[in-house]
Chain A
């Protein structure tokens, strides 16, 4: 089983709709990273969360990390076709709370936004 579970695996929405992607682990997440990837391209860094209860926003995207640091959500408000892509959560789950270590990734969520 995946150490990081993302849901849903795919999502199709109409432009203007809000949506949420979840990332869940049975282990404590020491650093949770959200990335966006276009097919066949590299990963674009979106946001990083480290503290329990932390919430960050950038433009229409908001990411939260729960108090237990085992679940994160990515929320997009008023989605646009430019938001389409693959969203990946990555986390340091190897304890110690150290940065600069290996990241484990969820399986990704494919987002399609219809105009």
Chain B
């Protein structure tokens, strides 16, 4: 199947700093990518849809200014958590469609101290 990578896999940062997470489609192009968030023992919650060359579409309740998304190319989307706080600590996963299947990255665990 298609491969989606994420970087970093794990990040620890201080409260108030910003953290950037990269999502790449390695062997296919993706005009649309998705960013999910997952809390321990809970399901995935869609945060936003990242659109190449245009603004991201955010789900209800997700702060646009808090979670900045940039889809700079057909293989790269970035999620920046700005002014991170401990409550932003979570597991962030991106995904992209390829041939009628949505493939997921390995996830990024963010811990804000």
Contact = CB atoms under 8 A, between A and B. Distances in A.
A105 B107 CA distance: 16
Interface stretch (B11-19, B67-75, B93-101): B93-101
Contacts, number: 52
Interface residues of B, number: 24
B61 interface: no
A6 to B, nearest CB: 8
Nearest to B106: A42
A11 to B, nearest CB: 14
Nearest to B99: A99
Interface stretch (A33-41, A54-62, A67-75): A33-41
B101 A33 contact: yes
Nearest to A44: B104
Contacts of A110: 41
A29 interface: no
Nearest to A43: B104
B102 A90 contact: yes
A41 B44 contact: no
A105 B44 CA distance: 6
B104 A100 contact: no
Contacts of A45: 1, 101-104
Nearest first, the 9 A-B pairs at minimum CB distance are: A42-B106, A43-B104, A100-B97, A42-B104, A107-B43, A105-B43, A105-B44, A42-B107, A99-B100
Interface of A: 31, 33, 35, 40-45, 48, 88, 90, 99-100, 102-108, 110
